[in-house]
A and B are shown apart, each in its own frame.
Chain A
């Protein structure tokens, strides 16, 4: 049986995340953040710096820059043009429980821990075994590729008690990708309504959070947030499997109490 031996050939390839940080994280251009001490007032002078208007000055403190990761498609134009202001952020733990928490640098009033425990309380009953239903509401296909990788040996979410399920009636968690197209509105709502309580919704990818570069159009929305209530937002274009996994763990209140992996 050649395949049996082949299966043993490389030993264990599975990541130890979330118990241990994974070395792959810091090698990957997952997000943009501001360089510490960067000059203010940039927005007025730089037209076309961001194709999705993810960069804006703060409303309360004029001139203070913010990057909204819910809008950022990680194209890197700002980093290339203004490396004195913007930098690549190698963090892969990017998911958040509110749109406000995806704006960097964060608003000091925002209490992440409070938000996190709220979702955690609601899904407390699901902790050991969680079934996931994925719905594509108008993605470009790359998010599906990264979600599919979660079932492979490297990410292997079944080791964490998470399973993809065929029927929404067995599902605890709805994982939605895409801009929210007109043709998927009814299908998305039907899937959501077929799920038993308690249910959690995770929006996966910048397109699902804000429409990204695609929406809104006559046929596409500005994300799926108007269609179903979102519990966790996973930014990225597409988010890497680690970031999606971070979002799933955040939704279930199962992240270890530490910061990382860096």
Chain B
């Protein structure tokens, strides 16, 4: 699925990537790898219409700088900052690299070196304030704030109503997962993948497993591929409903809020009936799935049919409720050309006309045969992103039904094949509820030496401050909910 081209010199990296982007490639990730000989590799992952390509350069031992890619391709900026936090490498030519996931004290060690330190001296970052003018002040919103939220801090620069600039701090819940991954064997690492983003556990297990399967040269059996689709799409419904619930709460739609909460609970209970876990953990493993569904496919089909009709009726009613739609229309507008240039992912991108969806572009599991058409809209506001999610819930029900029908007609199993990862580097991708999820996995001497999850939330984060043009404080809840970022998946 991914092609690693020849290694190019660090000085040639920026022109090469800029040329790739000019011919229509999308910068999907910038990932650093510490090599056994103390050199460092930089991988630039570029997505075409149906391919992933990799540009690779190598920094010799002792070289701690590289030319900044963000000078030519601005969407690389957050990756350069993250690499500075975790590897201590400095992207040159782009100004100071503000910390993202790990604000380190000056000269303190970086965690992703070959002999990682057990503790790191942290500091409280003080990002530069951007907005200027009379009466502008900065409101520190979070990480502990009203309601039950994951920890994330917004620096809201405002004059009281309008928000001329928004800063986002995500380091509070940095858990050091990338270092943790490399201490684990494959069967345990897939369990950690399920805990990177709790609301996308199936997607993470799937992306990690696909990378291991690529290194092992195996494909999971057909029944496992179908069961993977069932769980991945149930996860999409649950996570999209979570976003809908946040919207209805913000808009004061009490009945809709209650109804959607009930629908979501029923989805979680169906997932638990299928696998014993409300978030689908313990289903996907490298090589297939842990076993058959606990519920017969025909019984699961009946359960889906029972859920679907009232859910669809409520979603239709909600999307025809003017007092709800008015709050979302023209709120949180994300410019289509900005979204395209940044390569916006998931419902955020698809709401602004960027039609990438891994299920259609680089189909995996059982998606190639089930058929898939991505939902798109061009309005670019919170309503468009909401509309995408509603359509994707309906699409997910269709995919689940097709997969269950086929499962019902197949013999029971096999559910997995043995897989032994060969040494090498693999990049796998799936469409998580939040958008394209990449896993870069490096195996050396049979051990995992690098596992890098790149979540859609991380890639999209830089766009969030750009969606506040002309919006005021009371719109905040809709912009945040419609982006649907997972702080756990950003901070890792």
Contacts and interface: CB of A to CB of B under 8 A. Distances in A.
A240 B489 CA distance: 21
A77 B116 CA distance: 30
Interface residues of B, number: 69
Contacts of B273: 27
A2 B317 contact: yes
A87 to B, nearest CB: 12
Contacts of B106: none
Given A152-B262, A212-B195, A237-B281, A137 B151 contact: yes
Interface string B96-133: 00000010000000010000111110100000000000
Nearest to B198: A142
A247 to B, nearest CB: 15
A13 B255 CA distance: 13
B242 interface: yes
B276 A88 contact: yes
A157 to B, nearest CB: 12
Interface string A157-199: 0000000101010000000001101111001001100000000
A80 interface: yes
A149 B195 CA distance: 19
Contact of B172 (A27, A77, A134, A184): A184
Contacts of B201: 142
Interface string B250-282: 000101101101101100110011001111011
Contacts of B120: 182, 218-219
Contacts of A178: 151, 173
- Chain A contact residues (Cβ within 8 angstroms of B): what range? 35 or more
A7 interface: yes
B63 to A, nearest CB: 24
Nearest to B121: A182
Contacts of B116: 218
Interface string A105-143: 000000000000000000000000000011111111111
A128 B293 CA distance: 44
Contacts of A17: none
Contact of A140 (B119, B176, B268, B488): B488
Contact of B119 (A75, A138, A166, A218): A218
A153 interface: yes
Contacts of B255: 3-4, 6-7
Interface in B170-210: 171-177, 179-180, 184-185, 187-188, 191-192, 195-199, 201
Contacts of B242: 145
Contacts of B191: 51, 73, 75, 213
B199 A141 contact: yes
Given A3-B253, A3-B317, A181-B174, A135 B259 contact: no
Contact of B175 (A13, A147, A215): A215
Contacts of A62: none
Contacts of B173: 136-139, 178, 181, 183-184
B10 interface: no
Interface string A74-112: 111100100000001000000000000000000000000
A146 B148 CA distance: 10
A219 B111 contact: yes
A48 B179 contact: no
A51 B149 CA distance: 29
B64 interface: no
Contacts of A141: 150, 197-199, 486-489
Nearest to A178: B173
Contacts of A29: 272, 276-277
Contacts of A38: none
B117 A218 contact: yes
Nearest to A3: B255
Nearest to A182: B122
B176 A217 contact: yes
B6 interface: no
Interface in A221-260: 237-238, 240
A176 B281 CA distance: 22
Nearest to A241: B265
A218 B179 contact: yes
Contact of B180 (A9, A207, A217): A217
A28 B273 CA distance: 8
A66 B111 CA distance: 35
A173 B146 CA distance: 15
A181 B101 CA distance: 12
A144 B150 contact: yes
Nearest to B266: A154
Given A141-B197, A145-B242, A178-B173, 6 more contacts: A3-B256, A76-B276, A136-B143, A154-B262, A183-B122, A220-B175
Closest CB pairs A-B (n = 10): A142-B198, A152-B261, A217-B176, A166-B146, A29-B276, A183-B172, A140-B198, A219-B176, A141-B198, A7-B255
12 contacts: A10-B262, A48-B185, A136-B149, A136-B151, A141-B197, A141-B487, A142-B198, A183-B172, A187-B151, A213-B188, A219-B175, A237-B281
Interface of B: 102, 111, 116-120, 122, 143-151, 171-177, 179-180, 184-185, 187-188, 191-192, 195-199, 201, 242, 245, 253, 255-256, 258-259, 261-262, 264-265, 268-269, 272-273, 276-279, 281-282, 290-291, 310, 314, 317, 321, 486-489
